[in-house]
Amino acid sequence: MPKYLVLLYASEGDEATEQERWAELPLWRELTDGLRDAGLLVTNAPLHRTDSATTVRVRDDEIEMTDGPFAVTKEVLVGFYLLDCDGLDEALRHAARFPTARYGSVEVRPIMEQLPDLDAPGDDSLG
Amino acid sequence: MFREERMAVLATLIRQAGDFQLAEDALQDAFEAALAAWPRDGVPRNPAAWISVTARRRAIDRLRRERTTADRAARLAELVRLDQQEHPAAEEAGDIVDDRLRLIFTCCHPALDPAARVALTLRTVGGLTTAEIAHAFLVAEPTMGKRITRAKSKIANAHIRYRVPARDELPERLRGVLRVMYLIFNEGYSASAGDRLTRGELCGEAVRLGRLLVELMPDEAEAWGLLALMLLHDARRAARTISGGYVALPDQDRALWNRAQIADGLRALDRAVRFRRPGQYQLQAAITALHIQAADPDATDWQQIADLYGALGRLNPSAVVAVNHAAAVGFAEGPRSGLDRLEPLLADPALQHYQPLHATHADLLLRVGDRAAAAEAYQQAISLSRNAVERAELKRRLDQIDHR
């Protein structure tokens, strides 16, 4: 079966907008579950905001790190890796190894592991 | 409680709580609790330990209320375990040193914006308030607040680990830490605008951070080199300006130099060079030391200064170093030799707008007696200068040509 990368783009809203969007979480779950049940879903993940991104470039054998997302408009997305790392340093170390880092940019963006659980009760079980 | 102790408590609490913001908030809670309890019950025998235990309990309270924190259960369990230890304050001395280093390296992490590294280091390691930092860097307080908050949330979201870099990354990461400290120092030292007093405090803060770093990493030659450089520069602060005007080193009133601090700086430099691992800060400090140690400006050992600039240029090639090298050669071997050195720089299109190049060119031209060319070069330097104090000094030199 051919595979497709489905990329979601949106403007980064303020906190109120984010809250509004998270209110649609049940709809997201329904969609994701539907795709999984149909055997179509390989993986998916929400990303942290671009201000937690780091862009890595290698120029003249020097690793350049920039805080924030890639900002060169003539560069387009050409591929992706989803890595399981011990922390940002390990992810950045590998990011600098991809040839793209030499002629383009490699953006390292953390995956949001925990979705805001708006109606879960506080956990008082630990003492 | 002293700032040093506050920093040490915070550094350990960040490791235990696993989050900058949570640790800072909990520490703030603990200080508020101390304000209420100490006047009533008396100051505890070990105030730092009291604050540290109270802050950890407040962190536990905060985590219980906070539902959306990642790894919440694991962090709570760890904090509760620490709280129930029989000797909660009995941590190894080694741990405390490590925590402070962890904090410094995390604040200076290369994935953070350079301005944010400076701000976060001053806030968290230095213990300055956001208002003080905003004031020193001439930005609005909310802007500075956002910069610091953003850095902390990136550390949390992107999982910048709270650790001292491994041996293979240490040299590069240490250079990053030294750069942050030097940036803080330079902001205080070379600023022409703003509140002078606050700017001077920024230099003092950088020196304090430098002292802390050599205490934590006593075997790093460049850490000693940077401390020496900052001490030697800062010792001459009072002599650098007279009623707002810039005074070049040869014209400075040496009676205004802080002799004790100079001795301190020379000791640090001596300590650095004994490692026989030269670096840019040691070389710069050595150059400054030679200027200072000359009995009078005419007795300056320009040949050695020129050699040191040569070494610095091989290690860290830059326009600043190349121009200073040419100026030093101009004093050591005569203005014609200096002009020869300047030739390739003047031909470099990338340096056409570099003000110090033209100012140095003008000085050398004047010394070989080419007054017309010197006047032209001064004018070019003046048109490129964006600093009022510096511009006034260049104008003064230009006016002198006309009156000779």
Q: Give the model confidence (pLDDT) of B216-240 as tens digits.
A: 999 999 999 999 999 999 998 888 8
Give residue B91's pLDDT band: very low, low, confident or very high (50, 70, 90).
Answer: low
Instruction: Give the residue from B109, B108, B138 showing the smallest Cα distance to B125.
Output: B108
Give residue A113's pLDDT band: very low, low, confident or very high (50, 70, 90).
Answer: confident
- pLDDT for res B58: 95
- pLDDT for res B324: 95
Query: Under an 8 A CB cutoff, do B113 and A126 touch?
Result: no
Which of A117-121, B68-72, B112-116, B391-395 shows the highest mean pLDDT? B112-116
CA B244/CA B271 separation, integer angstroms: 35
Nearest to A89 among B67, B153, B161 (CB): B161
Given a contact cutoff of 8 angstroms between Cβ atoms, the answer to whether B279 and B231 are in contact is: no
Comparing alpha-carbon positions, the chain B residue that sits nearest to A66 is: B111
State yes or no: pLDDT of A120 exceeds 80: no
Helix axes B302-315 and B280-293, enclosed angle (nearest 10): 170
The pLDDT mean for chain B works out to: 89
CA B363/CA B374 separation, integer angstroms: 7
The H or E element that residue B177 is part of is helix B170-189
- pLDDT for res B85: 77
For residues B234-251, average pLDDT: 78
First to last CA, chain A: 52
DSSP string, B137-173: TT--HHHHHHHHHHHHHHHHHTT---SPPPTTTHHHH
All residues of chain B having their beta carbon less than 8 Å from the beta carbon of residue A117 are: 67-68
Comparing alpha-carbon positions, the chain B residue that sits nearest to A48 is: B157
State yes or no: pLDDT of B295 exceeds 50: yes
Given a contact cutoff of 8 angstroms between Cβ atoms, the answer to whether B22 and B62 are in contact is: yes
For residues B1-27, average pLDDT: 90
- pLDDT for res B56: 94
For residues B248-260, average pLDDT: 86
State yes or no: pLDDT of B96 exceeds 70: no
State yes or no: pLDDT of B87 exceeds 80: no
Give the contacts of B264 (CB within 8 A, at least 6 positions apart).
B231
- pLDDT for res B84: 81
DSSP string, B236-286: THHHHEETTEE--GGGS-GGGS-HHHHHHHHHHHHHHHTT----HHHHHHH
- pLDDT for res A125: 39
CA B240/CA A52 separation, integer angstroms: 42
Probe site for chain A from B82, B83, B149, B157 (most A CB atoms < 10 A): B157
State yes or no: pLDDT of B292 exceeds 80: yes
Pairwise pLDDT comparison (A127 vs A94), residue with the higher score: A94
Q: Distance, in angstroms, between A66 CA and closest chain B CA?
A: 6
Pairwise pLDDT comparison (A73 vs B94), residue with the higher score: A73
Q: Could you tell me the CA-to-CA distances from B111 to A21, A49, A82, B98, B250 in Å, in that order?
A: 29, 15, 19, 21, 41
| Residue B241, beta-bridge partner list | B246
Residue range B200-209, pLDDT digits in tens? 788 999 999 9
The pLDDT mean for chain A works out to: 88
Residue ranges matching CATH 1.25.40.10 in chain B:
301-404
Given a contact cutoff of 8 angstroms between Cβ atoms, the answer to whether B202 and B187 are in contact is: yes
Query: Under an 8 A CB cutoff, do A88 and B116 touch?
Result: no
Q: How many pairs of residues across A and B have Cβ atoms under 8 Å apart?
A: 63
Nearest to A48 among B80, B157, B160 (CB): B157
- Percentage of chain B beyond pLDDT 70 is 92
State yes or no: pLDDT of B196 exceeds 70: no
Query: Under an 8 A CB cutoff, do A89 and B116 touch?
Result: no
Give residue B95's pLDDT band: very low, low, confident or very high (50, 70, 90).
Answer: low
For residues B248-263, average pLDDT: 88
Nearest to A65 among B110, B154, B159 (CB): B110
Token pair 């730092």 is found at B48
All residues of chain A having their beta carbon less than 8 Å from the beta carbon of residue B116 are: 67
Indicate the domain borders of chain A: 7-44, 46-115
- pLDDT for res B86: 58
All residues of chain A having their beta carbon less than 8 Å from the beta carbon of residue B63 are: none
- pLDDT for res A114: 73
State yes or no: pLDDT of A96 exceeds 70: yes
Query: Under an 8 A CB cutoff, do A123 and B77 touch?
Result: no
- B 58-117 residues inside an 8 A Cβ radius of A: 64-65, 67-68, 70, 72-73, 76-77, 80, 110-113, 116
**Interface membership of A113 toward B (CB under 8 Å):** yes
Answer CATH for B301-404 from 2.30.330.10, 1.25.40.10, 1.10.10.10, 1.20.1050.10: 1.25.40.10
Give the contacts of B285 (CB within 8 A, at least 6 positions apart).
B225, B226, B228, B229, B232, B265, B268, B269, B272
All residues of chain B having their beta carbon less than 8 Å from the beta carbon of residue A114 are: 68, 70
**Interface membership of A45 toward B (CB under 8 Å):** no
State yes or no: pLDDT of B195 exceeds 80: no
Give the contacts of B52 (CB within 8 A, at least 6 positions apart).
B9, B12, B13, B30, B89
Q: Distance, in angstroms, between A125 CA and closest chain B CA?
A: 9
- pLDDT for res A126: 40
CA B4/CA B72 separation, integer angstroms: 29
Given a contact cutoff of 8 angstroms between Cβ atoms, the answer to whether B374 and B365 are in contact is: yes
DSSP string, A76-118: ----------SSHHHHHHHHTTSTHHHHS-EEE--B--S---T
Query: Under an 8 A CB cutoff, do A54 and B73 touch?
Result: no
Dihedral sign, CA of B235, B285, B199, B101? negative
ipTM value, please give it: 0.86
- B 161-200 residues inside an 8 A Cβ radius of A: 161, 165, 169
For residues B67-79, average pLDDT: 76
For residues B351-373, average pLDDT: 94
Give residue A92's pLDDT band: very low, low, confident or very high (50, 70, 90).
Answer: very high
Q: Distance, in angstroms, between A94 CA and closest chain B CA?
A: 14
Tokens at A34, concatenated: 């539907």
Residue range B301-344, pLDDT digits in tens? 999 999 999 999 999 899 999 999 999 999 999 999 999 999 99
